[in-house]
């Protein structure tokens, strides 16, 4: 494992809110940039206040499912994402948030977040928290 991967840490690999088993039967781990991406997805889907010891942790994306795709709604979501993602010590800054709505499936949307990750520079991360758009 490189020193950059060590800086970005290692954690348990999750899939659909369950831990994944490795081929040997152990719990699978994820490191480096993949770990940061997974951790930011967890922040996105976690409801604020879900962790009593970290009341500010979580964006609460479910609150935005089926919400009107207005500019005000997108700005609120972008503000929550920026604040929450920048509180992760591996994220230097959030450079931009884009929310793409589909008029035919308002319950599904795509979020593209441009982040500056320590040691990796700028990355565009795409999240579809409620499934892929058709």
- Is pTM beyond 0.75? Reply is yes
C-alpha torsion 31→34→37→43, nearest 10? -40
Chain-centroid distance of CA 32 in Å reads: 15
**Does the pLDDT at position 22 exceed 70?**
no
Q: Does residue 67 surpass a pLDDT of 50?
A: yes
40 pLDDT above the threshold of 60: yes
How many residues are present in the chain? 134
3-class secondary structure, 2: coil
Contact between 64 and 129 (Cβ < 8 Å): no
pLDDT at 69 over 90: no
DSSP helix/strand/coil, 71: helix
Which fold is adopted by the domain 3-127?
Answer: Nuclear Transport Factor 2; Chain: A, (3.10.450)
Q: Provide the pLDDT for residue 66.
A: 82
Residues 87-125 have pLDDT tens digits of 999 999 999 999 988 777 777 889 999 999 988 899 999
**Which pLDDT does position 107 carry in this prediction?**
77
* Alpha carbon distance 76, 4 (integer Å): 33
């Amino acid at each position: 494992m490189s020193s950059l991967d060590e800086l970005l840490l290692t954690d348990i690999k999750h899939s659909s809110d369950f831990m994944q088993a490795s081929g040997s039967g152990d719990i699978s781990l994820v490191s480096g940039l993949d770990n940061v991406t997974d951790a930011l997805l967890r922040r996105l889907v976690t409801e604020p206040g879900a962790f009593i010891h970290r009341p500010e942790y979580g964006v609460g994306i479910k609150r935005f499912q089926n919400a009107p795709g207005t500019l005000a709604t997108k700005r609120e979501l972008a503000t929550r994402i920026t604040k929450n993602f920048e509180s992760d010590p591996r994220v230097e800054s959030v450079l931009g948030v884009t929310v793409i709505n589909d008029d035919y499936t308002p319950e599904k949307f795509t979020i593209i977040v441009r982040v500056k990750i320590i040691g990796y520079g700028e990355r565009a991360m795409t999240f579809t928290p409620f499934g892929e758009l058709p």
